[in-house]
A and B are shown apart, each in its own frame.
Chain A
Amino acid sequence: MTTQTPVADDAARLAAFEARIAADESIEPKDWMPERYRSQLIRMMSQHAHSEVVGMLPEGNWITRAPSLRRKMILLAKVQDEGGHGLYIYCGTETLGVDRQELVQQLLDGKAKYSSIFNYPTLSWADIGAIGWLVDGAAIVNQTMLAKASYGPYARAMVRICKEENFHKKQGYEFMVTLARGTPAQKAMAQESLNRWWWPSLMMFGPHDADSPNSDELKKWGVKRKSNDELRQRFVNLTIAQVKAIDLTVPDPDLRYDEASGDWITGPIDWDEFWRVVKGHGPCNSERLGARRKAHDEGRWVRDAAMAYAEKQQRNNRETTERQQ
């Protein structure tokens, strides 16, 4: 009798899995996958979901102070979308066998990462335009790539999200166009905001390829299709034209156009600042976590009430059925 050992069995499965990735097949929840693929996806997807949720906070800061009903409606709709994005991705992550409650808990415990960009404060109204334009603009570049990720539920969530992000970016740019073409004070406000958000937006793509430990593995498994630097370059090339069109400037004296590649080459990124913020020492890290915890605590009675109501309804339905019998 020839029985395969578990090790040989796993090696065969891994080979089959890698062949599927190579053939651009979509990996679905019940398919066999290496534990490392599963754990890397849980890490990446939950960080992404947390970022959507924490991302509501800097913009939420300005909802009550929006200067017109039009802008207020737009901002409310955008922030609501971000909550939805969090939900799509949490649900996608749950298909990997982890409970959303567990992931939310990690965020509240301060054990989970989320995008560092949301640890910067929104100091002026112009920041709301800059975020939509730059932060959502950078997110689209990244998420368009992830819409082709090898894990089906993640890719499908990204397709849905990208459609909505286009509204986020467009409204942000229109907002900046309005300010840049407004009074000198409005234009100055737009420029000041761009100055503060430019570099953190470039940092959103993560460390340079050489310093990005998870990238190779994610690329090998078809989760990421492009490297951090490739995506960052694409974002810079797209954005510089938009900056010029509204007669603003990016705060980078070294910025130059490279004829040969057709790329806009930026000066060096301050990675010390990046790591400071990632490690929890950004301007708003504790404020963001505090706000999430407060919202979680203050929402508890709503969750409890909804549960109690559902239980009561079920009890009533049972009693009605019993009476009828």
Chain B
Amino acid sequence: MYADAETSWPLWEVFTQGTDGAPHQHAGSLHATSAEHALQNARDVYARRNEAVNLWVVPSAAITGSTPEDMGPFFDPAHDKAYRHPQFYKVPKGVKVF
């Protein structure tokens, strides 16, 4: 083996806000020693071309996600509620603009 094994720096997930008023979106991840360090690296890695006006970094370990196995049962309740959409409702023929 060439070099001594080193422990990796903690993993962070990076979220970028593209323009003022836009929601933050997941851009990718990176390794860094602290939140401040992660922010600086995120700027260099994910915002070299004005891709962001604001950045969030979150320790990857702090994120809880739903699992693919949940797909069915977890999201089921939304499947049979067409009445939550405006298309569900009919208006009289004469009403063109609602």
Interface 9-mer from A27-35, A46-54, A176-184: A27-35
Give the shortest distance, in Å, between A18 (CB) and chain B (any CB).
16
Residues of A within 8 A of B89 (CB): none
Beta-carbon contact of B3 and A310 below 8 Å? no
Q: A91-B29, A306-B37, A313-B34 are in contact. Are A101 and B5 (CB under 8 A)?
A: yes
CB < 8 Å neighbour of B45 from A84, A101, A105, A300: A84
Give complex CA distance A31, B71 in Å: 11
CB of A101 within 8 A of CB of B37, answer no
A310 with B33, Cβ < 8 A, contacts A30-B68, A81-B48, A157-B28 known: yes
Minimum CB–CB distance from A17 to chain B (whole Å) comes to 11
| Interface size of A in residues (CB-CB distance below 8 Å) | 35
Residues of B within 8 A of A306 (CB): 9, 33, 37
Q: Contact check: which of B6, B33, B34, B48 meets A84 at CB < 8 Å?
A: B48
User: Would A309 and B2 count as touching, CB distance under 8 A?
Assistant: no
- For A156, the chain B residues whose CB sits under 8 A away are 28
Q: Return A94 CB to nearest CB of chain B, in Å.
A: 7
Residues on A with beta carbons closer than 8 Å to the beta carbon of B33: 306-307, 309-310
Is A109 a contact partner of B65 (Cβ separation < 8 A)? no
Check if B1 is an interface residue, CB within 8 A of chain A.
Answer: yes
The listed residue (B5, B6, B28, B37) touching A310 by CB distance below 8 A is B37
Residues of A within 8 A of B6 (CB): 101, 300, 303
A108 CA to B5 CA, complexed, in Å? 11
B residues near A105, Cβ cutoff 8 Å? 1-3, 5
Judged by DSSP, the binding face of A is helix
Q: Indicate if A297 sits at the interface (CB-CB under 8 A).
A: yes
B3 close to A293 (CB less than 8 A): yes
Query: B8: CB under 8 A from chain A?
Result: yes
Question: For residue A234, which residues in chain B have a CB less than 8 angstroms away from its CB?
Answer: none
Within 8 A of A (CB), among B44-90: 44-45, 48-49, 65, 67-68
Instruction: For B8, give its contact among A32, A92, A101 (CB under 8 Å).
Output: A101
B8 touching A30, Cβ below 8 Å: no
A310 touches B34 (CB 8 A): yes
**A28 to B68, Cβ gap below 8 A?**
yes
| B24 within 8 Å of A (CB atoms) | no
Query: In the complex, what residues of B have CB within 8 A of residue A310's CB?
Result: 33-34, 37
Find out whether the CB atom of B3 lies under 8 angstroms from the CB atom of A297. Answer: yes
Interface positions of A (Cβ within 8 A of B): 28, 30-32, 77, 80-81, 84, 87-88, 91-92, 94, 99-101, 105, 108-110, 156-157, 160, 164, 293, 296-297, 300, 303, 306-307, 309-310, 313-314
Residues in B lying within 8 Å of A, measured CB to CB: 1-3, 5-9, 11, 28-31, 33-34, 37, 44-45, 48-49, 65, 67-68
